[in-house]
Structures are given as C-alpha cells and as structure tokens.
Amino acid sequence: MSGAALSLRLLTKTYTDEPDARPALSPIDLEVPPGQRVALVGHNGSGKTTLLRMVAGLLEPSGGDATVHGHARGTIEARAAVSYLSDHPTFYDDLSLREHLEYVARLHGVEDWSARADDLMDRMGLAGRADQLPGTFSRGLRQKAAITLAFVRPFRVLLVDEPFVGLDSGGKAALLALLDEASRTGATLVVATHELSFVHRVDRLLALSDGELRFDGAPGDADVDALVRPG
C-alpha cells in the first residue's frame, strides 16, 4: 500500500469519443505525500476541476487511476478520507444550514458536531443564518456555507476548487485560517485557485495548461502569473 496521500497513475479524461479529440486531462503521473500543501493553477478549462473530481471519486477517468492513502479513488475508504469543496456548491432545498451541518457531520461519525458547527458559522459570518436555507443564499454566502460543510467533518485530504471566488475579505481571511489549521493537523491540501497570494503559502505548485501538467515544483521557481494566463 502506497505511503502517499495521493497517487495518480496515468490518470486521464476525455469527454468525447472522437479519435482526434484533445483530452480534458492528459495522462498524469504524480504523488503527493501526507501533509503537503499544494496549489493547483491554470487558466479556465485547463483541467483543474476534472482532476479534482476524478480524485474525489465524482468523475470516472478515461484511463489510469488514483489512490487516496492507498485506497482506490471512489471507494468508501477513500471517500471517508477526502473532503471535497466544489466551485459550484449545491444544497438540499429543504434543509437549513444547521441541518446541513448536522447531516454531514453525523454521516462522518461526528457526534459532538454542534459546537464545531457553531464555531464554523461564526468564523464565516453565518451565525445569524443557521436556520435559513443555504440554497437561497447569494453566491458569496453559498460559498461560505460550503466551506463550513467541508470543514465540519474529519478528513485526511482536502480537495478545494476555486474557494476564494465570491468571498469578501473577511471570508478569505477565515478560509485561510481554516486551511492553516488543517495543515497543522497533518491534512494534505490540494487547492485549485487563481488567488495568487495563496500560492506563496504552499509547499508545491502544480500548473495545468490545456489538460497537460506544465509545471511541478516550488512556487518560488515559477512565473505563477504566466502559468495562470491562457496561452
């Protein structure tokens, strides 16, 4: 069993059967050790979301595979280890924010969930909205609600897709603090983002362009702005 938190072996995705179609994600081989903080950058359509969704077990690859702490992606063991924060969060129409938090926490075996939920809502500026339906929230508030759901459950790997979009300055500061706390507990973080200031807080930078891995190394060794731009 691999000692890596994440292990990708020729992981690839193509969304069409056309023989000359360009893959959304070309075959990628990489390993992420436990506890590493990774920023995943690239222009829109570069393959970031596709990669994260396949690792999270939400999208079937066209080839290759991935493991999470030695367990095949999509298995119960892998899903228990991974918390995935989507760039387009969805919510149940008839559950309040507090009910969402209780549901997610209990699903993952968190018994004393209420205090954690209250703390997360307070930090994200949602304390007064606990009994409201998050499906009715604005884009920024929906993102804050999704953040509370990602952090109310235990995880060993956190996969995050464009978490800073729509957040105000207070929300960004609160999210950065939560990411730092998760890192200190030994969690592995993979954050897809255009937020260049975050890139300088991580250990490793991965850059995708047109579905191909163009850079894998330390953030200080890259022209990050150029890696994010299309072209």
CB atoms within 10 A of CB 5: 25
Interatomic CA distance for residues 11 and 35, integer angstroms? 22
Are 105 and 182 spatial neighbours (Cβ–Cβ below 8 Å)? no
pLDDT-derived band at 1 (thresholds 50, 70, 90) equals very low
- Mean pLDDT across 208-223: 90
Question: For a pLDDT cut of 70, what percent of the chain falls above it?
Answer: 97
* 14-68 tens-digit pLDDT: 998 776 778 999 999 999 999 999 999 998 889 999 999 999 999 999 999 999 9
Q: Assess whether pLDDT exceeds 60 at residue 221.
A: yes
Question: For position 27, what pLDDT does the model report?
Answer: 96
* Orientation angle between helical segments 139-151 and 169-184, nearest 10 degrees: 10
Domains and CATH numbers, the chain: 6-91+157-228 (3.40.50.300)
Q: Decide if pLDDT at 2 tops 70.
A: no
Most distant pair of Cα atoms in the chain: their distance: 54
Cα(177)–Cα(175) distance, integer angstroms: 5
Contact (CB, 8 A) for 27 and 10? yes
CB–CB of 180/173 below 8 Å? Answer: no
pLDDT digits (tens, 9 = 90+) for 171-194: 999 999 999 999 999 999 999 998
Q: Which tokens hold the place of 2?
A: 């691999």
Residue 230 pLDDT > 80, yes or no? Answer: no
